[in-house]
């Protein structure tokens, strides 16, 4: 026993998406399929699993550098499914944020600290 609504969309003209339906899906215009691999070496180290390939497009504009880069490089040495991989990646992001703030406020904070230290020496 079939329900009453069975076969309602068998007739193509009764389907809700009829004006937009196509027989076979077509790729978007002006795209290259399959995607080509980006030339060069990845800026980030490879995954912790040697059999896992990097995606065809990877970021080369921001290479790993400094303490946050060392932390991220350590994180990439662990497989993706280990919690320590993601915790080290988040720690690397936090260290990067802290270093950015330190570089931003250091030109202002150093003269103020020097003035306060000089003022303290003068008072004593």
Per the structure, the count of domains in the chain is 1
CA 98, chain centre distance (Å)? 19
Has residue 28 got a pLDDT over 80? no
90, part of any domain: yes
39, part of any domain: no
Q: Which tops the pLDDT comparison, 72 or 63?
A: 72
Long-range Cβ contacts of 1-8 (<8 Å, 24+ apart): none
Q: How far is 80 from 48, CA to CA, in rounded Å?
A: 7
Q: How far is 70 from 53, CA to CA, in rounded Å?
A: 22
Domain that holds residue 120: 66-124
Compute the average pLDDT of residues 17-35.
71
24, part of any domain: no
53, part of any domain: no
Compute the average pLDDT of residues 70-76.
88
Angle separating helix axes 83-123 and 66-76, nearest 10 degrees = 160
Q: Which residues contact 40 (CB under 8 A, 6 or more apart)?
A: 60
102, part of any domain: yes
């Amino acid at each position: 026993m079939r329900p009453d609504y069975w076969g309602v969309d068998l007739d193509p003209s009764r389907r809700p998406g009829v004006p937009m339906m196509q027989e076979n899906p077509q790729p978007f215009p002006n795209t290259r399929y399959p995607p080509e691999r980006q030339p060069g070496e990845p800026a980030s180290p490879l995954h912790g699993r040697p059999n896992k390939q990097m995606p065809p497009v990877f970021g080369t504009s921001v290479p790993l550098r400094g303490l946050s880069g060392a932390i991220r490089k350590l994180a990439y040495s662990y497989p993706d499914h280990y919690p320590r991989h993601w915790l080290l990646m988040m720690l690397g992001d936090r260290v990067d944020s802290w270093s950015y703030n330190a570089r931003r406020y250091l030109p202002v904070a150093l003269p103020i600290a020097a003035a306060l230290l000089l003022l303290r020496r003068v008072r004593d």
